[in-house]
Chains A and B, each alone.
Chain A
Amino acid sequence: MRSYRFRKLEDLIMISLAYAALIIALIPLASILVETVSRGLPAMSFSLLFEEIPPLGQSGGGIGPAIQGTLIVVTLASIMGIPIGVFSGIYLAEFRQSRLASAARFLNDVLTNVPSIVLGIFGWAFVVVAIGWSVIAGAIALAIMMIPIVTRTTEEAIKLVPLTIREAAIALGVPQWKTTLTVVLSSAKKGIATGILLAVARISGETAPLLLTILGSRFWFSGFTQPTAAIPLAIFNFSQSPFRTVDLPRAWGASLILIFIVLVINIILRYSTREKYG
């Protein structure tokens, strides 16, 4: 038996180490937030938000088309991804015992973890080869990223709906499809909205799949079959620029906008799920 003093000391050291790990992990987070705000804020201006992207190294202009492009691509991806995800989630939750459902559930997990660059390659091979670098290709790649997230959270949200609500509807003679689409879905809508927000937050910061599909551009949106700009792509391009004094402030400004979007969504998520767990 080891001495009591040794065990006390070991206890103290290990607990301090655990707290130290916590602090070490929070340093990069603090550093990223502080640097993005302190370097991005001076670059913020009306023209950064609303003007066209200048060529690398040229002063003036902004990242207007990138903001527009991100909005368009994310919206289009959501239009494709959300209904598919929600209905797949309904299937997995309502017919959960079937063998097909458990296979689909497993593959859904697999799809969640496919590296995003692989989805970019797929978008390229599937769409870009046929119609060229385009908004559609990017939206398809991002929709594929969304679907498993939305499916999963929809399934979880529907499973949480109490059986009594369902029974009440069935006792009134409401057919199953109506029960699901009206009663069950509306009691699960908060959970589903959470999943959708989570998916949107995740895809709006994605760069790798967009690199291989929408390619990036300096100009305003010019059609769904044309290349377009996006905030993450703009950050990447500015960061690779040899003209650091001109382009870096833009990169940090764009990062600040992106971090702001992602943070706001995450805080909403945290706030809206608080009652459930807290």
Chain B
Amino acid sequence: MSQHEKSQNFLSKIKSNRKKRFSEDSVFRATVLLIACNIFIILGLIIFKITQGAWLSIQTYGIKFLWGTTWQPFPPDPTVPPSFGALPLIWGTLITSAIALLLGVPISLGIALALSEFAPKSFNYIISFFVELLAAIPSVIYGLWGIFILIPFLQNNLYPQLQATLGFLPFFQGTIRGSSVLTGGIILAIMIIPTVSAISRDVFAAVPNSQREAIIALGATRWEKARIVMGYGRSGVIGAIMLGLGRAVGETMAITMVIGNSFNMFTSLFEPGATLASIVANEFTEASSPPVYISALMEAGLILFALAIAVNASARLVIWRSTRKIKEAEML
């Protein structure tokens, strides 16, 4: 074999190797791509399967399901067909989430500021671990703690005082119950604190130091510096709050265990109520017949799904835009 042939041989070997390699790489690429597509398939299947299950209810009650106020799977008069409407559930979900935000957000912002602006760094590490532990505790344990520790405490100490001082307001009137909408809101507030505070802390930590230095140079106090930081990270904080709202809306077990599970268009926060999530957890396994009962519960789940996705997607959008803004500002 001549030298030339030898080198020709070698070259073609390399070429075929490279070809093989390219095909191997494209096989690899195609495989991971297919696996990554699971996300589209899963979400598609979830939407399809739940809509399919809810279809009977959607057909029977139409759009009125959203503002109907009766929930009668077994009407007292057996000739009357069962009827379902979700307004009290939507009401319960919105009010408990609103209470959670009202109580949880100021506390979370306080924590985020304390950790990012006021406290020494060595202290941060251990404290943020404890705050994050709040997120790790399973929701059923929150529920158990809610029933046997939180409720007795609130019912005997806080609620009577609350009624004595603010009893003239319509939502603090009536008999005080431990298993009530207010208790549900309070437990949700505790559960969203780790989410909101952790993200806000990261947002504050991302605020460029030049901002802090500038305001300190003007002679600001620590609180005035913190206000500038909060103002700078405002949209990120809004995103964090909305993620907290998303968590509050979808939370199931803890709230099911403390809200009292009563289908009720409540006006007083001391009344028991129900949320979209709690009614599913509470009634689904027993709802074998009539078929429209299960279907109505699935429609409640579908509304919850839509609500959670809307809240979370807008939260992502807000956070994404705010981090982009900060990045752009840093580049200038």
Chain A residues packing against B (C-beta within 8 Å): 7-8, 10-11, 14-15, 17-22, 24-26, 28-29, 31-32, 35-36, 83-84, 87-88, 90-92, 94-95, 100-101, 103-104, 106-111, 113-122, 124-126, 144, 147-148, 151, 175-177, 180-181, 201-202, 204-208, 211-212, 215, 232, 235-236, 239, 248, 251-252, 255, 258-259, 262-263, 266, 270, 278
> B residues within 8 A CB of A180?
28
Q: Contact check, A14 vs B226: say whether CB atoms are below 8 A apart.
A: yes
Known contacts A15-B118, A15-B222, A207-B140; is-contact A175 B49 (Cβ 8 Å)? no
**B177 proximal to A (CB < 8 A):** no
**B35 proximal to A (CB < 8 A):** yes
Task: Write the chain B residue with the least CB distance to A20.
Answer: B110
> A residues within 8 A CB of B305?
114-115, 118
> B residues within 8 A CB of A14?
223, 226
Q: Contact check, A32 vs B130: say whether CB atoms are below 8 A apart.
A: no
Give the number of chain B interface residues (Cβ < 8 Å).
88
A-B contacts, 16 listed (Cβ < 8 Å): A28-B190, A29-B137, A31-B149, A32-B137, A83-B35, A88-B32, A94-B32, A109-B312, A110-B313, A115-B304, A115-B305, A120-B284, A125-B52, A177-B27, A202-B136, A208-B253
Of B111, B139, B145, B147, the contact of A207 (CB 8 Å cutoff): B139
CB under 8 Å from chain A, chain B span 38-85: 38-40, 42-43, 45-46, 49-50, 52-53
| A258–B119 CA distance with the chains assembled, in angstroms | 32
CB distance from A277 to the nearest CB of B (A): 9
Q: Contact check, B250 vs A113: say whether CB atoms are below 8 A apart.
A: yes
Task: Write the chain B residue with the least CB distance to A17.
Answer: B110
> A residues within 8 A CB of B119?
19
The 4 closest A-B pairs by CB, nearest first: A115-B250, A205-B138, A21-B110, A177-B28
**B309 proximal to A (CB < 8 A):** yes
Q: Contact check, B285 vs A235: say whether CB atoms are below 8 A apart.
A: no
- Main SS at interface, chain A: helix
Q: Contact check, A29 vs B142: say whether CB atoms are below 8 A apart.
A: no
Q: Contact check, A121 vs B301: say whether CB atoms are below 8 A apart.
A: yes
Q: Contact check, B35 vs A113: say whether CB atoms are below 8 A apart.
A: no
Q: Contact check, A18 vs B113: say whether CB atoms are below 8 A apart.
A: yes
Q: Contact check, A126 vs B45: say whether CB atoms are below 8 A apart.
A: yes
CB distance from A51 to the nearest CB of B (A): 21
Knowing that A11-B223, A88-B35 touch, tell me 13 more A-B residue pairs with CB under 8 angstroms.
A19-B119, A88-B39, A100-B36, A115-B277, A115-B304, A115-B305, A121-B284, A206-B138, A232-B138, A232-B253, A235-B141, A239-B140, A255-B141
Q: Contact check, A263 vs B107: say whether CB atoms are below 8 A apart.
A: no
> B residues within 8 A CB of A147?
38-39, 42
Q: Contact check, B221 vs A7: say whether CB atoms are below 8 A apart.
A: yes
Task: Write the chain B residue with the least CB distance to A28.
Answer: B190
CB distance from B153 to the nearest CB of A (A): 9
> B residues within 8 A CB of A212?
280-281, 284-285
Q: Contact check, B246 vs A21: say whether CB atoms are below 8 A apart.
A: no
Q: Contact check, A91 vs B35: say whether CB atoms are below 8 A apart.
A: yes
Known contacts A10-B223, A21-B107, A116-B250; is-contact A208 B281 (Cβ 8 Å)? yes
CB distance from B233 to the nearest CB of A (A): 15
Q: Contact check, B284 vs A211: say whether CB atoms are below 8 A apart.
A: yes
| A14–B223 CA distance with the chains assembled, in angstroms | 7
> A residues within 8 A CB of B190?
25, 28
> B residues within 8 A CB of A91?
32-33, 35-36
Of B40, B133, B224, B309, the contact of A263 (CB 8 Å cutoff): B133
| A119–B304 CA distance with the chains assembled, in angstroms | 11
**B148 proximal to A (CB < 8 A):** yes
Q: Contact check, A262 vs B138: say whether CB atoms are below 8 A apart.
A: yes
Known contacts A18-B114, A21-B114; is-contact A116 B252 (Cβ 8 Å)? yes
